[in-house]
Amino acid sequence: MTDLLKLGALASTAIIDALPDWAAAERLIRRGHRAAYLAGLSERLNVPLDSALLSEKRLSRAERKEVDSLIAAELKYWKGFESEKADLSQGQTDARAAMYGRATRGTYSKARWADWDLPFHPTEGSECLSNCRCHWTVEDNGDGTGAATWHLGATERHCTTCPSRASDSPYSVKRQ
């Protein structure tokens, strides 16, 4: 399995290092999310990440649209961040910049589990935001339904929402 924590951490570091070149940092955000999306896709399709089948050029129109809209949503926050940069200390800037690398875990999860109508994804809708290290697994019942389990991140200081997601597991989900 792709080490998503590592990918997120590498992306965070790269983004912080790129600043104050905001355009370069933005390119890294795009690249990080594309990499996370492809990683998720490779696991979903069970195709090695370095396979030619998985090159970005081979993404379907729907997949391309999805990854573009995920990136666009991130960049909206990023633009807000950039507009506030003058008011932020170096430490605050670095901390916020790092979130954009870790947010790639949400993109990975959406690509990995795109076959299922999961109710939410890591880094979303929880107080821990991009610090979330939780992940899904889905057991396929073979009849178009599945049982989805939310696994708490191992070293995460848990927020309020994630433990309740874990205790509410398994969720009944459908193939989409």
Please say which residue, 35 or 134, places its beta carbon nearer to Zn ion: 134
Residue 170 preceded by cis peptide, ω within 30:
yes
Please say which residue, 34 or 105, places its beta carbon nearer to Zn ion: 105
Please say which residue, 3 or 17, places its beta carbon nearer to Zn ion: 3
Of residues 121 through 140, those in contact with Zn ion by CB under 5 A are: 128, 132, 134
Please say which residue, 128 or 148, places its beta carbon nearer to Zn ion: 128
CA dist., res. 41 & res. 39, Å (int): 5
DSSP string, 79-141: HHHHHTGGG--HHHHHHHHHHHHHTHHHHHHHHHTTTB--S--TTSSSTTGGG---EEEEEE-
Told to check if 99 binds Zn ion by CB under 5 A, we report no
CA dist., res. 104 & res. 102, Å (int): 5
Q: Which residue has the tokens 């600043």?
A: 19
Told to check if 162 binds Zn ion by CB under 5 A, we report yes
CA dist., res. 118 & res. 173, Å (int): 6
Please say which residue, 34 or 133, places its beta carbon nearer to Zn ion: 133
We find the least distance from the C-beta atom of residue 156 to Zn ion, in angstroms, to be 6
We find the least distance from the C-beta atom of residue 159 to Zn ion, in angstroms, to be 6
Of residues 56 through 75, those in contact with Zn ion by CB under 5 A are: none
We find the least distance from the C-beta atom of residue 83 to Zn ion, in angstroms, to be 28
The single-letter code of the amino acid at 62 is A
Told to check if 103 binds Zn ion by CB under 5 A, we report no
- The closest alpha carbon to 41, from 31, 61, 56, belongs to 56
Q: Which residues bind Zn ion (CB under 5 A)?
A: 128, 132, 134, 162
